[in-house]
Amino acid sequence: MDCFAPNTSEDLAVHPKKVGDVRNWLQHCEAMRKKYPAQICLLTGPAGCGKTATLRVLAQEMGYELQEWINPTDCEEINALGDQPNEGTYMGSQLQAFKSFLLRASRYKSLLSTGNKRLLLVEDFPNCLLKDATATFEDLLDEYANYGKSPLVFIVADSKSRMLNISYKLFTDQLKAKLRIEHISFNSIAATIMQKSMKRFATLMQQPQHKSLYKLPTQTVVDSIVVCAQGDIRNALINLHFGSLKGAPGMETKQLNVSVPSKGRKRKATNTLKSIGRDESITMMHALGRVFNPKYTETKDKCLLHNPEDLAEAFSTEPKNFVNFIHANYLPHFQNIANVNSALNDIGLADMLLQEYRDESLSLVGLTIAVRGCMVANVTPVSGWMPVRGPKRLTIEPQLTPAEQRLLGVASGAISKRLYASEYSSFVKLIADKTN
Give the pLDDT band of residue 400 (cuts 50, 70, 90). Answer: low
Residue 21: the pLDDT is 93
pLDDT digits (tens, 9 = 90+) for 309-326: 888 888 877 788 889 889
Q: Strand 65-69 and strand 182-185: pairing?
A: unpaired
Q: Which residues contact 35 (CB under 8 A, 6 or more apart)?
A: none
The Cα 391–Cα 104 span in angstroms is 47
Position with higher pLDDT, 111 vs 343: 343
| Model confidence at 170: pLDDT above 50 | yes
Average pLDDT of the chain, as a whole number? 78
CA 425 to chain centre: 45
Residue 53: the pLDDT is 92
Position with higher pLDDT, 86 vs 375: 375
pLDDT digits (tens, 9 = 90+) for 266-290: 445 466 665 555 555 567 788 888 8
Q: Pseudo-torsion of CA 323, 328, 329, 330, nearest 10°? A: 60
Q: Which amino acid is at 336?
A: N
Residue 370: the pLDDT is 92
The Cα 208–Cα 84 span in angstroms is 51
Q: Which of 102-106, 206-210, 253-257 is least confident?
A: 253-257
pLDDT digits (tens, 9 = 90+) for 25-69: 999 988 888 888 889 999 998 888 999 999 999 999 988 888 888
The Cα 295–Cα 142 span in angstroms is 50
Comparing C-alpha atoms, which of 316, 217, 320 is closest to residue 271? 217
Comparing C-alpha atoms, which of 341, 328, 332 is closest to residue 392? 328
Mean pLDDT of 358-369: 84
Cβ burial of 132 (10 Å; 0-12, 13-18, 19+) is: exposed
Mean pLDDT of 244-259: 70
Residue 209: the pLDDT is 85
Give the pLDDT band of residue 24 (cuts 50, 70, 90). Answer: very high
Output phi, psi for 256, to 5 deg: -80, 150
The Cα 329–Cα 322 span in angstroms is 11
Residue 354: the pLDDT is 85
